[in-house]
Structure 1
Amino acid sequence: MAFIDKVLQTPSYKWADDDGNLVKPSPKQLWTEAFKRTNVFKSKKNWIPFINWATAVAMLPFLYFFLVDYFSWLHVGALVIYAMIVMSTHGTIWYHRYSTHRAYTFTNSVWRFVTQNLVVRTFSEEVYVVSHHVHHAKSDNPGDPYNSGAGILYCMLSDVNHQAIAKDLNETEYKKVSNFIGHTGIVINSYKKYLKWGSVANPYYTVLLLLMNWAFWFTAFSFMGGPGFACALFSGAFFWYVLVRAFNYTGHGGGQRQHVDGVDFDRSNLSINQTRPGIFSGEWHNNHHLYPDSARAGFLKYQLDMAWIYIYCMHKIGVVGRYNDSKKEFLERFGHEIGA
């Protein structure tokens, strides 16, 4: 078995049947798996899936106070902008292009930490990064942790059902997995602690960083616009955190081939370039699958890429060191198709 096939914890319904076909679990199977995976009383190794859900639940009071005590249309506008643009763009900058694909580097660890915490913190790097490497290796095939062909609920529950690392890795395999996220600056478990906690990320560090981040941003937002403004932006972070799970369903055509000539050039998978995620967060997903380690994914003239703008500007002021930019390679390869 290839290493990439062993990285993630296999769900009880398995990735594929005996004939190698994708297993499409029922909603009951998916929910049963989710509650089993988040049960920390059964095993402390379930702590990351538990934290995923606990984080969302802990955000609900902010939404409650926003709706009941601080509702205003101005705050609604701030919520929408923060969720759809700020949180989304940061997800592309930090989790996607840096943490997973190492498309650029920082000149020092201080700026790396600042970029990591530019917004209200949600996902642990481990949840996003390790599974995303598997996603690229097995896109739209059995084993893809958010395979759109298995339905939207399969994707929505993937953070607890499919994105946790395997619990039975040997020491060599564990070191390979930990190398996926070692550059992000998080505190990493030793192999002995991995056997105890079932994760690369140290649980105490993960929770402490989350609490410190929330305390900082709630205080900062309150100074900027009062507690109502803070509750609105935390509510925006909540909506992004929940709804981003649907992206790989829509971003892979809902499990159907929806490629558009002259727009989607990678036909090896179901990924498509969508205007809203592209404009709002730089997530031109088909382009990204073509050149996953590129710090820029907006290759065509109309493809605004705000994540790339941030990375490029940070490079100009000395915060970002090396970066990869595949636009020239893209145009050399496909320019004749678009008249460039």
Structure 2
Amino acid sequence: MAFLNTVLEPPAYGWKDQFGELSKPTNGQILKEFFSRLNVFKSKKNWLSFLSWMLIVFLTPFLGLFIFKYFSITGLVVAFVYSMIIMGTHGTIWHHRYCTHGAYKFKNNFWRFVTQNLTLKIIPEEIYAVSHHVHHALSDQPGDPYNAQGGFLYCFLADVNHQPINRSMSEKDYAKCVNLMKHTGVTTNSYKQYQKWGTLVSPLRTITGIILNWGFWFAAFYLMGGPALACAVFGSAGIWAVGVRTFNFEGHGKGEDKRREGVDYNRNDMSINQIWPGYVAGEWHNNHHLYPKSARSGFKPYQVDMAFYYIKFLSIIGAVSSYRDSKKEFYADHCKVVIDDKQEYVSPPKSVLVTD
């Protein structure tokens, strides 16, 4: 816990105010911090944050070409499905349930590589995974990198202002940080390289990986449907990259308590289950905060979880060697129901509850 309190680079306005409460910066302070941390001329250690937003800039021309040159209803449908469903679900599968929580294990590195590159590579694993550990440890508390109580901009620009790793870690703490990413297969810097670049990953490897990923997918979509399809997909990926930055503000009630009885069972933070993120990305957020290491977060019959369906499919074909599924635990703990693969029935009192 002490390590997670210090693993992220604190913003200029700090995590806490003088009373120990959440420091709530003005929008002006947030924007000032944002542009300061994007400035690669000020410090080359800003390179990863700069790259993260430049990727969106690079995708913008594709969106423009699709809208003004190649627009069609079919292309619009493809763009919608790719950005809202495919990109969203992949983010849950790869960045959320695997890179951060290790909710399942691949049989070999081949299937890990395939899953990692199922879509356009836009969000660096380092920015997402390390900070998300902190989010769970300090959810809705000072130090939570996307604390919704800080406001919309506080969350929307968190990948630059709050999520980068601390640039002055000791060698011992840096080794702990590396260990958080070890299972992902991402090649990390030595401590000396980290001191130079301020990140777990090197610019050369990261940029090369993105170029290869984008090149493969542009060629694939171009061969499937020409420049119209390629522009529709790449442009819509840029929309997703912007839209996903709004999720944690919405997913934690916009800083208010919007939890509902019989829907949101986790009472330790303000996370809520939402229909849209649940259906398009398998992101039943309150359920996820209840059982963060579960490969499934859609527990109830109506809670579609396409991310879990992909993981389950890989398990069936032998690509995933094991995964955690907390569905039975959820029903037993919160619905007083015992389930197996064939039936559900009301359980006896918890003191004599019989489980598999």
Is residue 2:334 matched to residue 1:331?
Answer: no
Give the structure 2 partner of residue 162 of structure 1: 162
Give the structure 2 partner of residue 152 of structure 1: 152
**TM-score scaled by length of structure 2:** 0.94
C-alpha displacement at 1:339, in angstroms? 8.1
Larger Rg: 2
Aligned structure 1 segments of 4 or more residues deviating by more than 4 angstroms: 337-340
Task: Measure the CA separation in 2 of the matches of 1:122 and 1:327.
Answer: 31
* Matched ranges for 1:1-340 at <5 A: 2-336=2-336
- Alpha-carbon deviations, 1:63-95, whole Å to 9, x = none? 111112101111111111111100000000000
Task: Measure the CA separation in 1 of the matches of 2:154 and 2:124.
Answer: 20
Any idea what SS the aligned residue of 2:71 has?
coil
C-alpha displacement at 1:336, in angstroms? 2.9
**TM-score scaled by length of structure 1:** 0.98
Any idea what SS the aligned residue of 2:200 has?
coil
Task: Measure the CA separation in 1 of the matches of 2:298 and 2:53.
Answer: 33
C-alpha displacement at 1:235, in angstroms? 1.2
* Structure 1 unaligned regions, length at least 5: none
Any idea what SS the aligned residue of 2:322 has?
strand
Read off the aligned partner of 1:280 and give its amino acid letter.
V
Any idea what SS the aligned residue of 1:322 has?
strand
- Alpha-carbon deviations, 1:223-275, whole Å to 9, x = none? 11111111111111111111101100000000000111111000110000000
- Alpha-carbon deviations, 1:281-305, whole Å to 9, x = none? 1100000000000000011111110
Read off the aligned partner of 2:291 and give its amino acid letter.
Y
* Structure 2 unaligned regions, length at least 5: 338-343, 347-356
Read off the aligned partner of 1:316 and give its amino acid letter.
I
**Greater CA deviation, 167-176 or 177-186?**
177-186
